[in-house]
Amino acid sequence: MPRPILATVSIPALRHNLALARRNAPGRSVWAVVKADGYGHGLANALRGFAAADGLALVEFDAAARLRREGWRGPLLMLEGAFDAEDVAQAVRERLALVVHEPRQIEWLEALRAPAAIDVYLKFNSGMNRLGFVQRAFRDACERLSRIGAVRRVALMTHFANADLPGGAVEALERFEAAAAGLPGARSLANSAATLLLPSAHGDAIRPGIMLYGATPCDDREARSFGLRAAMTLRSRLIAVQTLGAGDAVGYGSTFRAERPMRIGVVACGYADGYPRHAPSGTPVAVDGMLTATVGRVAMDMLMVDLGPVPHAGPGAAVELWGETVPIDAVARASGTIGYELMCALAPRVPVRVLDDAPAP
């Protein structure tokens, strides 16, 4: 028998979240972001869930090739652009749109002897100071790109550092608009947070990622409050039950001690499955559908839970680590991280079951 841990990915939830992103930005194009293997959900699953997107955006060129092999004929946008001249050649062959954030990338395009084939998204650095051009350099790069024969269209983009905070992207948006004033081309600015919170940044094409998978982009707003549905559920089962006396400890380092007699359950899920080792005692978890909390240190293959709220649960009882009952964001917050990291870290040893209510197209 396989170990009882199982992740499920709900294609209807992915579709629902994409439709919600679209309703938030009516009339705009939607680039569904599928980098990092569809935020850990599996590239093929993301492709099924986002078949209605206007385009897919990612950073890995091998994954772009896979999407083409799997039949995606729509636009693909490479969010970090080309890493070398060979990537630019692949972009021509496979019709990939390229972000340009660096002068070297312009040189690779200038060296191409190809008919007008490549769509470029020129990146403005609006304050993140990670990728992109500022002010004059941005306008100069735009001018230079517009003279390259192999470039078909130039769109303008930026990525916000603080769109999840109230008013956090307003100044960055102003900087972008000042730099882009008068330049032709479509605009693409909004990640999930700006899609949900900053309509003035919707531009021509939004680029939602995390919201499509049903997690929140904001520290202080639950995904559910936006109407999002969790796409990934991580489940396992109790494989043992222990009865502790007052003062007994649980797990490595004996970091948790029972104050009074209590029953605890041992779950077949650990950090080698992608569950965060930093999750402290008290991290939410559900047993038999009832909310309870972890106790003690997370180990490689196991973690322990308080069975106080579920006195009848025994070995074999169903456990949800995160998903529909326990928001992934709640586990992340308790562990000092974000839902993004947990979903991307789902380990390869965890089997994934795909739920779909419609036949594949």
Ligand X SMILES: *Cc1c(COP(=O)(O)O)cnc(C)c1O
Among 208, 276, 284, 296, binds ligand X (CB under 6 A): 208
Among 144, 159, 187, 263, binds ligand X (CB under 6 A): 159
**What 8-state DSSP symbol labels residue 217?**
S
Is 179 a binder of ligand X (CB under 6 A)?
Answer: no
Is 55 a binder of ligand X (CB under 6 A)?
Answer: no
Is 28 a binder of ligand X (CB under 6 A)?
Answer: no
| Two tokens, residue 332 | 């992340």
Contact of 34 with 44, CB cutoff 8 Å: no
Count of C-beta atoms within a 10 Å radius of residue 194: 29
In this complex, which beta carbon is closest to ligand X, that of residue 77 or of residue 307? 77
Is 191 a binder of ligand X (CB under 6 A)?
Answer: yes
Measured from each CB, the residue nearest to ligand X is 209
In this complex, which beta carbon is closest to ligand X, that of residue 204 or of residue 356? 204
CA angle 36, 10, 69 (to 5 degrees): 50
Among 141, 210, 232, 234, binds ligand X (CB under 6 A): 210
Is 209 a binder of ligand X (CB under 6 A)?
Answer: yes
Q: Which helix (H) or strand (E) holds 110?
A: helix 103-110
| Two tokens, residue 118 | 């490549």
| Phi, psi (rounded to 5 degrees) for 254 | 45, 45
Is 142 a binder of ligand X (CB under 6 A)?
Answer: no
CB of 273 to ligand X, least distance (A): 23
Please give the positions annotated as active site: 35, 252
Is 79 a binder of ligand X (CB under 6 A)?
Answer: yes
Q: Which stretches does DSSP call E strand in the chain?
A: 6-10, 29-33, 55-58, 76-78, 96-100, 118-124, 151-158, 187-188, 205-206, 232-244, 249-250, 256-257, 262-267, 284-287, 290-295, 303-306, 318-322, 352-355
Total site size for ligand X, rule CB under 6 A:
11
Is 81 a binder of ligand X (CB under 6 A)?
Answer: no
Is 169 a binder of ligand X (CB under 6 A)?
Answer: no
Q: Catalog residues that contact ligand X under the rule CB under 6 A.
A: 33, 35, 79, 159, 191-192, 207-210, 217
